[in-house]
Every structure is written in C-alpha cells, then in structure tokens.
Structure 1
Amino acid sequence: MVTIGDVAAAAGVSRSTASYALSGKRTISPEVRAKVAEAVRDLNYTPNAGARALATARTSVIALLGRFLADEFAPAMLQYILGVTNRARELGYDTLLVSEDDGVAALQRISSSRMVDGFVLLNVAENDDRLPVLRNAPQPGALLGLPGDPDGIDVFDLDFPAAGALMVETMHTHGHRELILVSQPLHVIERGGAYVWRLADSARERAAELGVTLHSYFGAASQPEVGRDLNRFLDAHPSATGLLLNNEAAAAALPNVLASRGLKCPEDISVVGRYSDDFARMFSLPYSAVDSAADELGRRAVEALVQRIEQRHSTSPVHIELIRPMIQDRGSLAAPPK
C-alpha cells in the first residue's frame, strides 16, 4: 500500500512537507505543492481516513439520514440523495447513507461515535423528533425540508405555498376555471409531511381569490392504485379542464390514464405538476411542472454544511432558504376546449 512516505520520496521532499502540502495546514510553495500532487497521481495515493481523522479531528464524511417510505415515490427521493452525494464528493466528502426507521437512535449513535463531521436530514416532518438530538449534537446539520420549528439549523426547501399559488395562477391565465388537484397520500400529512398541505392550502386560497373551482384529492403513491384514483377523480368532475399534480406517482401514471380515456394533452386537458427535471426525463413526462429543485436543494444544503464544518467556530446566523418556484414549460398548457 502506498504511504505518505512513498509520496514524499517520489516528490523529493520530506514526509512532513508532503503531508502539509496535502492538508494545507502550512504554506507550501506552488512548485513543491505541484510536485507532491504529481506524485500522488503517479502513485495513485489515497490518504488513510483514520490517520487523517486523528490529525485533523475530521472524518470527511457526511451522514445523510432519510427513509424510503412505502407511501412516497422512491425515485423522487433519489433525486435529493444524488444532489447531496454528488456535491459532497466534489467538496472532498464521502456520504454515509442511513435509512433505518429509528432516525433518532441512528442520529444519536452516529453523533456520539464521531464517525461523521455533519448531518443532512431528509423526510423532515413538521414536528421532527430528530431535531432536538441534532441541536444537541457536536456536529452541525442541515435540513432538506422546512419543519414547524427550524430554530438553530440551516434549512433548504422549495417554497411550497408559492408553488401552489403559481400552479393555480398559471391555469387561470390560460382560461381554466375548474381544476383537480392531486396531492400525496393522506398518510404523508398524518406523519408530518407539511409540504403537502402547504401547497394544497395555498392553491385553494388562490383559487378562491381568482374565482376558480378547485377539487382537491389525495392520490396513492404507486400503481395500479394511483391510476384508478386518477380515473375516479376525472369521472367525478367531467367539466374540469386542468390537472394539478403534487404527486410524482400520479404524474408517472397519467400518460397511460389519458390514453385509455382517449384524451390528449393539452387539447382536451391541461396539466401542470410539481417534480424535478430529472424525474421528468426519467419517466419521459411531457407535462409542464414546477421544478422541485431536488438536486439544487441537496447541493446547497451540502455547501452550507461543509462551510460550518470547516469554520467550526463560526457564529454565522442560521440560514433558511426557500427556493422560488418556476414552471418549466413542456407544452401541456393551453386554453380549455370550447
């Protein structure tokens, strides 16, 4: 196994100089740093994680705590995970994915063992029982999702109330006056998925202000149930001319549902959803949608977390960032049929 001594010998410098060139803990001339970097590449040297942790009091590992829940659409969760892991790798950090059901116990165990430098939490609930543990942990954290009480922790999320209002306003601008909103399953709200009711409540409020009739439903999170749900909602409201989808499974199922009913989009019905651009490409979805910005949110959370890790004594204020929603036009919006 290649050691730091081998790197030093190949670069023609002392072991300590090679170590300082890699760690950046002391000023090293650009020429020497370049020689060390060349030796690292030639020898395919990888620093020993344990030795590095002892020397720097850091592990260069981030824990990502999330759960794959049966009533949510797993591919949508993957977009957030990729945003976190890709940006962490770019910044020199590995990611430990923790998906066990007992998030409190997992966070306590990992924090006390000092095996990671910080935490990113997914599936953040309105009253998330992991947050008191995170606030008392010696490591910093960041949340992908806005809880009821975000005190003391950096938060990154889509502005879901603004997204709900924008979806209704966009349909209204195209002339639609009766819409169907399909949200995530009711179970998601019952366990604290506040983003569902934040979007739905704002959509209903804006619809009332604009004189738009909005029929609001919860859809299933998988096939074939969600396909049956969509058919049932469309049967109940044959005069509705627009669909709002805050449910990724419903969006993925909709092309087959519309085809089975002999409906074309946007000639017969207009559609606007809420999901990431990557998700749309994955399922070849032709529907305009508010981009959930999953990748961007993951990247921003990691950047903020790494900054707190590397400036451990910083007193910078807590950062709460809600990304402004934007609709990506894929041609599924038009005036209602006459």
Structure 2
Amino acid sequence: MVTIGDVAKVAGVSRSTASYALSGKRTISPAVVQRVLDAVDELGYIPNAGARALATSHTKVIGLLGRFLDDEFAPAMLQYILGVTNRARELGYDTLLVSEEDGIHALQRLSSSRMVDGFVLLNVAERDTRLEILRAALQPGATVGLPAECDGVDVFDLDFVESGRLMVQTMHDAGHRELILVSQPVHVVERGGAYVWRLADGARERAAELGVTLHHHHGDSSQPGIGRDLADILDRHPGATGLLLNNEAAAAALPSVLAARGLRAPDDISVIGRYSDDFARTFSLPFTAIDSAADELGRRAVQQLVARIEDGPDGTAPHVVELIPPAVHDRGSIAAPPTPRG
C-alpha cells in the first residue's frame, strides 16, 4: 500500500512537506506542490479528499442532481445516471448523487461548501428554477435535457422534435396511415417536461405533412395503470395499424397487453418506441425503437463538464447545445399493415 512517505521519497521532500503540500496547512511553493502531486499520480496514492481539495482547489467529485419522480418510470432514469457515473469514473472523478426534492437548496449547499467541482442536472424542466442558481455558482454545470434558456450552461439532449417526425416517417414508409402515439402522463408536461410535447409536436407535424391520422394519448407511468390505459386506447382506435410509444412504462407493459388480446407485432400491429438499448435489454423488449441515447448523453455531459473544470475559472470556451440526431434500431416490429378481413 502506497503511503505518504512513499510520495515524499519520490517527490524528494520530507514527509511533513508532502503532507503540508496536500493539506494546504502551510505555505508550500507551487513547484514543490506540483512535484508532490506528480508523485501522487505516479504512485497511485489516494490522499484524503479534503486535503487534496485544499491543495488543488479540486475535489475530483461531480454533483449529479436527479430526482426519481412518481410520474416517470424510474428504471429509465437509471440509464442516464449510469452514463454520468461511468464516464466520470473513467476520467478520475467520483459522483455524488443528490436526489432530494429541493434541488435549489441542494445546489446552493453543494456550491457554497465546495463539496464538488461541477454539476450535472437531470430531470431538466423547460423553465427549470435550478438553472438560475447553477449559472450563479462558482462551479460549472451541464444539463441532460433542453431548457427554454440555455445560456451559461452546456446542454445535451436527444432531438425530440426530429424523433417524433422520424417515428411517423418510418411508419408511413411501411404503409401505415392511422397511428397512435402514447406519451408520458400529462403531469410530466405540466411540470415542464418539454421533451414530451416536443416529440408529440414533431409527430403531429410530420403526420399532417404526410396525410397520416395520428391519435395522441397520455398514459400512466407504472403498472397496473398503464396496462389499462393501453387496452383502452387500442379499443378506442380499432383502425390504427401503428403504435408509437414515448412512454417507457408503456413499452414495458405492451408485450403482456398484446398477448392478452391475442395480438402480435408486427403481424397485427406495428410498434416503434423511444428508449435506450439498455432499457430494451433489461425488459426484453422486441420492439423497434429510437435510441434515447441516455448513456451517450450522460457521457457527453460529463466529458464537457470535466473539460471546463480542468480549464479553470479563466476558461473561455463557449457553451454548447448539442442535440443528438435520432437513430432507429430495427428489431423487426414494423411491417406493412395487415390486410383487412373481408
């Protein structure tokens, strides 16, 4: 096990000087501090986090603010969290997950105490009250989710408008002319979940351009409610031949709903969803889907955040807004509409 004595020997200083260089308790020349830090890196020594923070002004910790909300499907949120934590670890940073409801207070507390070097925000609302605090914080921040105002932070999201358009286009290309779109609960929209209406707007726009009938419904975020919702929606639109899902709970429930009705995709109805590949594997979903890019978004946000952290407060790189273009992952659940029985 590497000790502070080993670090001191490699750095060519006394044990006490090495300790002071890491703790900041005494004034040590910048050149000596750098030699000690180089030795730490060379030997893989893990100093006390608080001591290193005093010496370098970095904690090597990223604050991740993400809430598990009752009206959203919790397993989907985990995909975003994993993207953030995995990339942070690869870059040598730990992640402090904060899931308390009062995100404003959490940001203020973490920023003022300098417990973290920067922030990644999940569950970003269109008019997110946390952003004002984040813009004023000493530490840089990035969001996974597109707010109405993007100034002062780096923003990463899926292009939801184009995702809705692509869903409709894909069904139209297969010959479908009457479709159903199932979105997240209406409470998500009321709370500021703009990704819901952005995808729906894109779908409606493309449907109108192509002359496709699109029925839009909001479904529950968990069982058994979403199972009942799906059955009711299918009953209300017997002529629909394609189903679009912007609701992870609906995607997870659909196999059992179709089986109960004696239906199969794509023989009886074609299906396209919007969720990550990891999510599809977790729930063994056989449906074609637009990848929500949860892992990629988390990784990009951390990559950009760490670059800002390490550039320091004098960094001048402009803030970015990156919308990932949607891509369809074909799992064979879309085919030509079934021939009506005469």
Q: TM-score, normalised by structure 2?
A: 0.91
User: Hey, what does 1:300 align to over in structure 2?
Assistant: 300
What's the offset of the Cα at 1:6? 3.2
Q: Does the CA-based 8 Å contact 2:11-2:36 persist in structure 1? A: no
Question: What residue number does 1:237 align with?
Answer: 237
Unaligned runs of 5+ in 1: none
CA distance in 2, matches of 1:49, 1:277: 36
SS at match of 1:244: strand
**Structure 2 contact 61–95 (Cα < 8 Å) conserved:** yes
- Is 2:283 the partner of 1:320? no
Amino acid at match of 2:337: P
Give secondary structure in 1 for the equivalent of 2:143: strand
- The one-letter amino acid paired with 1:265 is A
1:125-183: CA deviation from partner (whole Å, max 9, x where unpaired): 00000011011000000000000111111000000000000000000000000000000
The residue type paired with residue 181 of structure 1 is: L
Q: Aligned with 1:164: secondary structure?
A: helix
Deviation at 1:3, TM superposition (A): 3.0
In structure 1, C-alpha distance between the alignment counterparts of 2:261 and 2:129, rounded to whole Å: 45
Q: CA deviation at 1:12?
A: 9.0
Q: What is the rounded CA distance, in whole Å, between the counterparts of 2:86 and 2:11 in structure 1?
A: 34
In the other structure, the counterpart of 1:146 is 146
> Secondary structure of the equivalent of 1:143?
strand
Distance change (3 Å), C-alpha of 1:12 and 1:70:
closer
Q: Is the 8 A contact 2:18 2:36 kept in 1?
A: no
Structure 2 counterpart of 1:121? 121
Report the counterpart of residue 262 of structure 2 in structure 1. 262
Please name the residue that 1:191 is paired with.
191
* Equivalent-residue separation in structure 2 for 1:27 and 1:7 (angstroms): 7
Counterpart for residue 63 of structure 2: 63
Deviation for aligned residue 1:83: 0.3
Cα-to-partner distance string for 1:202-254 (whole Å, 9 max, x where unaligned) = 10111011010000000000000000000000000111000000000000000
Mapped partners of 1:238, 1:268: distance in 2: 11
How much does 1:46 deviate? 1.9
Distance apart, 1:24 and its partner CA: 9.6
Shift of 1:25: 3.6
Matched residues, number: 326
Paired residues for 1:195-274 under 5 Å: 195-274=195-274
Cα-to-partner distance string for 1:61-91 (whole Å, 9 max, x where unaligned): 0000011000100000000000000100110
Structure 2: segments with no counterpart, 5+ residues:
23-31
> In structure 2, what is the Cα distance between the partners aligned to 1:94 and 1:272?
36
2:4/2:18 contact within 8 Å kept: no
User: Is the Cα contact below 8 Å between 2:73 and 2:221 reproduced in 1?
Assistant: yes
Alignment-derived partner of residue 85 in structure 1: 85
What code does the residue aligned with 1:326 have? Answer: A
- Counterpart of 1:136, as a letter, is A
* Amino acid corresponding to residue 317 of structure 1 in structure 2: P
1:76-128 Cα offsets, whole Å, 9 max, x none, are: 00000000001001101110000000100110111111110000000000000
- Contact 2:231–2:257 under 8 Å retained in 1: yes
Distance 1:306 1:151 in 2: 18
Report the residue type matching 2:90 in the other structure. E
Question: C-alpha distance in 2, partners of 1:337/1:248?
Answer: 26
2:337 counterpart residue number: 336
Match of 2:29 in 1: none
> What SS does the aligned partner of 2:96 have?
strand
- Secondary structure (helix, strand or coil) at the match of 2:266 reads coil
1:282 aligned partner, one-letter code: T
Q: Does the Cα contact within 8 Å between 2:59 and 2:117 map onto a contact in 1? A: yes
Structure 1 residue identity aligned to 2:328: I
- Which secondary structure does the structure 1 equivalent of 2:273 belong to? strand
Mapped contact 1:72–1:184 kept (Cα < 8 A): yes
| Counterpart residue identity of residue 93, structure 1 | Y
Which amino acid in 1 is paired with 2:323? L
Q: Report SS of the residue matched to 1:139.
A: coil
- 8 Å Cα contact 2:179/2:244 also seen in 1: yes
Shift of 1:51: 1.3
What TM-score results when the alignment is normalised by the length of structure 1? 0.92
The offset of 1:26, in angstroms, is 5.4
Work out whether residues 8 and 36 of structure 1, in 8 Å CA contact, stay in contact via their aligned partners in 2: no
1:27-73 CA-partner distances (Å, limit 9, x unpaired): 99xxx97x984x54xxxx42221111111011000000011000100
2:155 matched residue in structure 1:
155
Identity %: 71
